[in-house]
């Protein structure tokens, strides 16, 4: 396939490129420049219902393919994605403001879920259970759950789609993807690659819309959709969960976080600075697993603040299409307003800005460090989702654990220490789905990604990921004679 053909301005339903029945469209904006990139269909509930019907009709044929056949299509899709890596990354950078180096990384990361589940497809083993009577034989098989819907966020325009749909497609489930209105172009570009990879019509569908709540309602309430996987905010996750109650739909929710990053006095401070930098400023602080609170022990507090501030001052901003640029824009005005509000509140309550604190231009904001942060500040409780790092102080291990767990969220957490006993103690005590120990970047397709408490439930990636798109069926064979 030729390069340069991946900008699509139609939605992809039942193997066709289609507009909204109403003919309405909406514009996709480049957050780095404010320029309009394209206009795509603004679909409504009725359009989505058609996609669900197509997916449901395709289910029987698709689930009857052998696992090896489904695996081969996934593998084609994976190869096509890598072949078009530069073009996909460019589209992603232009519509999301993610810097080019990170967009290139996201294509690899997103594709890795497809490769992983192409392999897992062939290993969806069941069980043979020793029977409880002589004349019976007990077997367990795993089967596709049915049509699966994925509602995905703008911060990972590609990887949050593949992390959800690759296990669904591997399991034999057709998919309907509702990408966010900020980043539909990456979603449509990979739909084109999915079409070329050979998914049968109706198996892979992407619907674009600004009517997120109406579309969400249809995906939750339509009985033909058997599974919904959502990544986004906790308040929206709660609405979706209540809407799914009417059909008792299976649900995976990957929601907000408030990640602590603890630096103990026995840590390698230089390594801790590197870990905090990569975790805090990944996609300009706009990921659910970005550090939100840095907690540093008294004895090393001043040293950490000084070294971390220095490292943050070295981050490079500029044209996001250049591969050496590390800091891009925030996604929109709402994101920018939140960052400013968190800084204003923290400073009013005694925080000291050691670097940054101001707008650069447009949606670009300076990477910012706040020393002397305290627990009464908004930033201690709410995810800032931007380039602001507040640094709190603690005295004892017990206090650090208590501070880290003092939140309704439980997605990612991190800490640095060289004491192996402390590493086990603290890792076990942190109430989080994921813990990075002497490591600031923990996401990979081979490990389970997900949270506890109000960060949601379900796990994505890893050997566990496919189970969320399959049903377990127990079969009891009676009357067996010898
Ligand atoms: C997210 O922010 O939702 C995903 C982050 C990741 O996969 O590392």
Q: What is the pLDDT of residues 319-335, one digit of tens each?
A: 999 999 999 999 999 99
pLDDT at 4 over 90: no
Phi, psi of 353 (to 5 degrees): -80, 115
Q: Which letter, b or e, does each residue of 172-190 get, where b requires 16 or more Cβ atoms within 10 Å of its Cβ?
A: bbbbbbbbbbbbbbbbbbb
Ligand 1 atom 6 nearest Cα: 443
Q: What are the start-end ranges of the H helices in 376-479?
A: 378-381, 397-405, 420-429
By most ligand atoms within 8 Å of CB, the mutation choice from 110, 112, 152, 155 for ligand 1 is 155
Inter-residue contact 244 to 225 (CB < 8 Å): no
Residues with CB under 6 Å of ligand 1 are 155-156, 231, 254, 287-289, 443, 449
Centre of ligand 1 from the C-alpha of residue 395, in Å: 31
Catalytic residues: 254, 288
Kindly calculate the radius of gyration of the chain based on its CA atoms and give it in whole angstroms.
23
Residue 141 CA to residue 301 CA, distance in Å, equals 55
- Please name which of 258, 454, 455 lies closest in space to residue 375, comparing C-alpha atoms: 258
Q: How far apart are the first and last CA of the chain?
A: 59
For the chain, give the percent of residues with pLDDT over 90: 99
Please compute the mean of the pLDDT values over residues 156-169 and round it to a whole number: 98
pLDDT at 76 over 70: yes
Structural element, H or E, at residue 147: strand 147-151
Q: What is the pLDDT of residues 395-436, one digit of tens each?
A: 999 999 999 999 999 999 999 999 999 999 999 999 999 999
CA–CA distances in Å: residue 109 to residues 41, 324, 352 = 28, 19, 37
Centre of ligand 1 from the C-alpha of residue 120, in Å: 21
Structural domains of the chain, ranges and CATH numbers in brackets: 11-255+455-474 (3.40.605.10), 259-444 (3.40.309.10)
What pLDDT was estimated at residue 5? 87
Please compute the mean of the pLDDT values over residues 303-313 and round it to a whole number: 98
Inter-residue contact 228 to 254 (CB < 8 Å): no
Please compute the mean of the pLDDT values over residues 381-394 and round it to a whole number: 98
Inter-residue contact 385 to 338 (CB < 8 Å): yes
What pLDDT was estimated at residue 142? 98
Q: 207 in helix, strand or coil?
A: coil
Burial class of 420 by CB neighbour count within 10 A (0 to 12, 13 to 18, 19+): exposed
Please compute the mean of the pLDDT values over residues 438-445 and round it to a whole number: 98
Residue 254 CA, closest ligand 1 atom number? 3
pLDDT at 3 over 70: no
Residue 331 CA to residue 154 CA, distance in Å, equals 8
What pLDDT was estimated at residue 33? 96
By most ligand atoms within 8 Å of CB, the mutation choice from 384, 432, 443 for ligand 1 is 443
Mean pLDDT for the chain?
A: 97
Q: What is the pLDDT of residues 14-67, one digit of tens each?
A: 999 999 999 999 999 999 999 999 999 999 999 999 999 999 999 999 999 999
Q: 481 in helix, strand or coil?
A: coil
∠ CA 67-69-70, nearest 5°, is 65
Please compute the mean of the pLDDT values over residues 450-467 and round it to a whole number: 98
pLDDT class for 85, splitting at 50, 70, 90? very high
pTM, whole model, 2 decimals?
Answer: 0.97
């Amino acid at each position: 396939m030729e390069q340069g053909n991946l900008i699509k301005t139609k939605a992809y339903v039942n193997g066709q490129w289609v507009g909204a029945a109403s003919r309405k469209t909406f514009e996709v904006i480049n957050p780095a420049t404010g320029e309009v990139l394209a206009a795509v269909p603004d679909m409504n509930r009725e359009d989505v219902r058609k996609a669900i019907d197509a997916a449901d009709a395709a289910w029987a044929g698709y689930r009857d393919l052998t696992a090896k056949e489904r695996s081969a299509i996934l593998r084609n899709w994976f190869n096509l994605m890598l072949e078009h890596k530069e073009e996909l990354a460019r589209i992603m950078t232009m519509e999301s403001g993610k810097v080019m180096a990170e967009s290139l990384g996201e294509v690899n990361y997103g594709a890795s879920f497809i490769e992983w589940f192409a392999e897992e497809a062939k290993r969806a083993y069941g069980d043979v259970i020793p029977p409880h009577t002589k004349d019976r034989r007990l077997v367990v098989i795993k089967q596709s759950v049915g049509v699966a819907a994925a509602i995905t966020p703008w911060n990972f325009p590609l990887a949050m789609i593949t992390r959800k749909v690759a296990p669904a497609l591997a399991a034999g489930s057709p998919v309907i993807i509702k990408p966010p209105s900020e980043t539909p172009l990456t979603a449509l570009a990979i739909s084109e690659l999915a079409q070329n990879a050979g998914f049968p019509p109706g198996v892979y569908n992407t619907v674009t819309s600004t009517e997120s709540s109406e579309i969400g309602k249809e995906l939750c309430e339509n009985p033909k959709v058997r599974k919904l996987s959502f990544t986004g905010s906790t308040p929206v996750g709660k609405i979706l969960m209540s809407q799914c109650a009417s059909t008792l739909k299976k649900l995976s929710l990957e929601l907000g976080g408030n990640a602590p990053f603890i630096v103990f006095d026995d840590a390698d401070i230089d390594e801790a600075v590197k870990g905090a930098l990569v975790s805090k400023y990944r996609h300009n602080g706009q990921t659910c697993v970005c550090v939100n609170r840095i907690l540093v022990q008294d004895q090393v507090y001043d040293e950490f603040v000084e070294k971390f501030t220095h490292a943050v001052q070295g981050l490079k901003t500029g044209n996001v299409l250049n591969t050496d640029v590390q800091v891009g824009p925030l996604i929109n005005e709402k994101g920018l307003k939140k960052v400013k509000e968190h800084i204003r509140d923290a400073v009013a309550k005694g925080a000291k800005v050691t670097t940054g604190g101001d707008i650069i231009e447009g949606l670009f904001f300076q990477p910012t460090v706040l020393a002397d942060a305290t627990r009464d500040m908004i930033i201690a409780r709410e995810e800032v989702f931007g380039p602001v790092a507040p640094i709190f102080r603690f005295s004892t291990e017990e206090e650090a654990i208590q501070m880290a767990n003092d939140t309704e969220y439980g997605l990612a957490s991190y800490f640095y220490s060289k004491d192996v006993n402390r590493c086990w103690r603290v890792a076990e005590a942190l109430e989080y789905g994921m813990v990075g120990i002497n490591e600031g970047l923990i996401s990979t397709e081979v490990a389970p990604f997900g949270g506890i408490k109000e960060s949601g439930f379900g796990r994505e990636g890893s050997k566990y990921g496919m189970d969320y798109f399959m049903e377990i069926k127990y079969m009891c064979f009676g009357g067996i004679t010898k």
